[in-house]
């Protein structure tokens, strides 16, 4: 499987304590996904997950508020951080461009987290999708997505100096952004991750900015690899450049 091609910026090495905490968090997610795939969501408890990961239930709750959160990797801090990034990213740029940058980065984070679980990231994602056949889990995931969408909407409203109760634009754009991410992740997993998730989201937002034309690079991702040059070089209309043989 192809992983995201954009190398992350160099960061200071985490402390031993931070690395141990991250390893425990990953272990809990792996175990939760394995147990739910084996037994079904309704037949797995927090105690089961903790025991299989060789930690106490109390330790489990230090990392996740529920077994649903462990399956999806939900992080309460992510919601607040996402909102702030929407407000602060690329000052002076159009709001859709700033949102593209934020969501591309978030997509890379999703792929990186799945990759860090070990094995095939797309396989982990498929397990999460299978787990969502449970009605309770499906509702929990919908609630999580709603929180993220609201965080994006709040950030957009602040960035634009407007009010969600008076202006429908931030809410509409937030719902669109959430839909782009959800559709991109679904396609990415279904295709076996043949194209980096962050590139899919990037192409989707560029197509959106161009008015979702029928002829766009997003629709060509299964026909050929879209090179970095083609993604960044654009016509005056804003569309991603095509090769002549695609006309």
Q: What is the pTM of this model?
A: 0.76
Segments in the chain forming alpha helices (H): 16-39, 46-52, 57-63, 67-72, 76-88, 95-116, 121-131, 135-160, 169-190, 197-209, 228-232
pLDDT at 161: 97
Domains of the chain, by residue range, sit at: 15-67, 75-246
pLDDT per position as a tens digit, 91-132: 999 999 999 999 999 999 888 888 888 777 777 777 777 766
Do 203 and 217 meet the contact criterion of CB atoms below 8 Å apart? yes
Question: Is the domain 15-67 a CATH 3.30.420.110 member?
Answer: no
CATH T-level fold of 75-246: Tetracycline Repressor; domain 2 (1.10.357)
Q: What is the mean pLDDT of each run of 10 residues along the chain (247 residues)?
A: 44 77 92 89 94 96 91 81 96 96 93 81 73 78 89 97 97 96 87 87 96 93 56 42 38
pLDDT of residue 113: 83
Phi, psi of 75 (to 5 degrees): -130, 115
């Amino acid at each position: 499987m192809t992983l995201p091609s954009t190398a992350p910026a160099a960061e200071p090495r985490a402390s031993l304590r931070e690395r141990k905490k991250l390893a425990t968090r990953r272990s809990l997610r792996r175990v939760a996904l394995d147990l739910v795939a084996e037994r079904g969501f309704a037949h797995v408890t927090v105690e089961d997950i903790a025991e299989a990961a060789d930690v106490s239930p109390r330790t489990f709750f230090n990392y996740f508020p529920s077994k649903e959160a462990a399956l999806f990797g939900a992080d309460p801090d992510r919601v607040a951080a996402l909102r702030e990034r929407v407000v602060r990213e690329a000052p002076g740029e159009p709001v859709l461009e700033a949102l593209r940058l934020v969501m591309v980065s978030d997509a890379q984070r999703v792929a990186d987290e799945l990759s860090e679980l070990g094995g095939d990231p797309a396989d982990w994602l498929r397990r999460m999708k299978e787990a969502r056949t449970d009605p309770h889990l499906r509702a929990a995931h919908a609630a999580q997505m709603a929180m993220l969408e609201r965080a994006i909407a709040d950030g957009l409203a602040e960035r634009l100096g407007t009010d969600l109760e008076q202006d429908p634009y931030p809410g509409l754009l937030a719902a669109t952004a959430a839909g782009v991410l959800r559709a991109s992740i679904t396609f990415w997993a279904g295709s076996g991750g043949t194209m980096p998730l962050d590139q899919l989201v990037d192409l989707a937002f560029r197509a959106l900015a161009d008015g979702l034309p029928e002829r766009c690079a997003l629709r060509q991702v299964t026909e050929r690899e879209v090179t970095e040059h083609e993604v960044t070089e654009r016509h005056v209309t804003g569309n991603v450049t095509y090769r002549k043989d695609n006309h």
